[in-house]
Amino acid sequence: MDHLERLEAQSVFILREAYREFKDLAMLWSIGKDSTVLLWLARKAFFGHVPIPLVHIDTSFKIPAMIEYRDELAMRWNLNMVVGQNTEAVKKRQTFPDGGVSRMDCCRKLKSMALKNTLEGSWPRWVLDHETGKYVQEKDSKPYTGVIAGVRSDEEGSRSKERYFSPRDKENDWDVGDQPPELWNQFKTDFAPGTHVRVHPLLDWTELNIWQYIERENIPIIDLYFDQGDGTRYRSLGCGPCTKPVESTASNVHEIVEELTSGKFANIAERSGREQDKEDGNSLESLRRDGYM
């Protein structure tokens, strides 16, 4: 068994463990490479059928190609697709840059608040109707008490503090200093009532592992990651106004693997194109304590 096979086996085990232990479970899908690999692993874990709803938070500022890719794949793979949004903030233009709020405040409203209320079922949720290909408002929304996310330890400092099974309290607050130990693959999955649990099957994967696995499995990835002819490509995907491409001529998965193996980005953070991360020195951890993924 090689390194990618060991990572795959562990992630599949965690996915099955989460499905066994948590009744009201959802999985986040950001449309990016990591959560799409996670989706692929879920299809493997459950023999081609994903029995867990896929939740996407649509800020209304995502690059349009991301939404097209989401819906095309959801239809092709017969996914139970659920979409949430902070419709009030979007309607009142409490957004960056047109609403005059900071990038951080925009993230709090359109991502953290939207995610929290979507998971709780306290705001409207829309589900994909596979007959029409359209989204319809969900009836009788119930809270999800467990959510699976494609978070990697190496991606950013605050994510390195996560556990595979990471508890949040009823306010969605994260006590970084008080988390269960996970030694020798002994996972704590029994939590007090009211606890919201985040599950992270990709914690041990690196950016290079993700791309090597995409290449080996031939996973369909959105082409925003590839150079379209202007010598740039996206390395990390987010909202259009706050996400910039990096200089790269890699036009396919193999060239991205070669680029990462060569050390081209060894001294450049993977999220260097995410402008909201630069507003203060601790921005992403602050957002994550508020519920951001």
The reply to whether omega before 97 is within 30° of 0 (cis) is yes
Distance CA 213, CA 109 (A): 34
pLDDT tens string 150-195: 999 988 777 778 889 998 877 777 788 888 888 887 888 888 888 8
Predicted confidence at residue 96, as pLDDT, reads 86
The architecture CATH gives domain 3-205+279-290: 3-Layer(aba) Sandwich (3.40)
Q: List, by residue range, all CATH 3.40.50.620 domains of the chain.
A: 3-205+279-290
pLDDT tens string 207-218: 999 999 999 999
Q: What is 76-101 written as a DSSP string? A: HTT--EEEE--HHHHHTT--TTTT--
Give the three-class secondary structure for 211: helix
Residues 19/52, Cβ–Cβ less than 8 Å: yes
Predicted confidence at residue 267, as pLDDT, reads 80
Distance of CA 281 to the CA centre of its chain: 22
Predicted confidence at residue 282, as pLDDT, reads 57
Q: What is 148-209 written as a DSSP string? A: E----GGG-GGGGG--SEEEE-TT----TTS-----TT-------TT-EEEE-TTTT--HHH
Nearest to 264 by CA among 245, 244, 275, 248: 248
If you average pLDDT over residues 259-278, what whole number do you get?
A: 79
Predicted confidence at residue 12, as pLDDT, reads 98
Predicted confidence at residue 270, as pLDDT, reads 83
Residue 13 pLDDT exceeds 80: yes
Residue 289 pLDDT exceeds 90: no
Nearest to 54 by CA among 74, 72, 32: 74
Both structure tokens of 148: 């699976």
pTM value is 0.90
**Distance set, CA 256 to CA 20, 184, 287 (Å):** 36, 33, 29
Cβ-Cβ contacts under 8 Å for 185 (sequence gap 6 or more): 10
| Residue of higher predicted confidence among 3 and 101 | 3
Task: Give the pLDDT band (50/70/90) at residue 280.
Answer: low
CA quadruple 187, 155, 291, 276: dihedral, nearest 10: 180
Most confident of 94-98, 231-235, 275-279: 231-235
Predicted confidence at residue 284, as pLDDT, reads 58
Least confident window among 2-6, 168-172, 265-269: 168-172
Predicted confidence at residue 158, as pLDDT, reads 75
Distance CA 277, CA 271 (A): 8
Distance CA 287, CA 293 (A): 8
Distance CA 40, CA 215 (A): 13
| Residue of higher predicted confidence among 193 and 131 | 131
| Residue of higher predicted confidence among 193 and 225 | 225
Task: Give the pLDDT band (50/70/90) at residue 70.
Answer: very high
Residue 281 pLDDT exceeds 60: no
Distance CA 14, CA 256 (A): 28
Task: Give the pLDDT band (50/70/90) at residue 104.
Answer: confident
If you average pLDDT over residues 131-141, what whole number do you get?
A: 95
Give the three-class secondary structure for 122: coil
**Cα angle at 258 between 252 and 260, to 5 degrees?**
105
Q: Are strands 232-233 and 196-199 parallel, antiparallel or unpaired?
A: unpaired
Residue 122 pLDDT exceeds 90: yes
Predicted confidence at residue 290, as pLDDT, reads 60
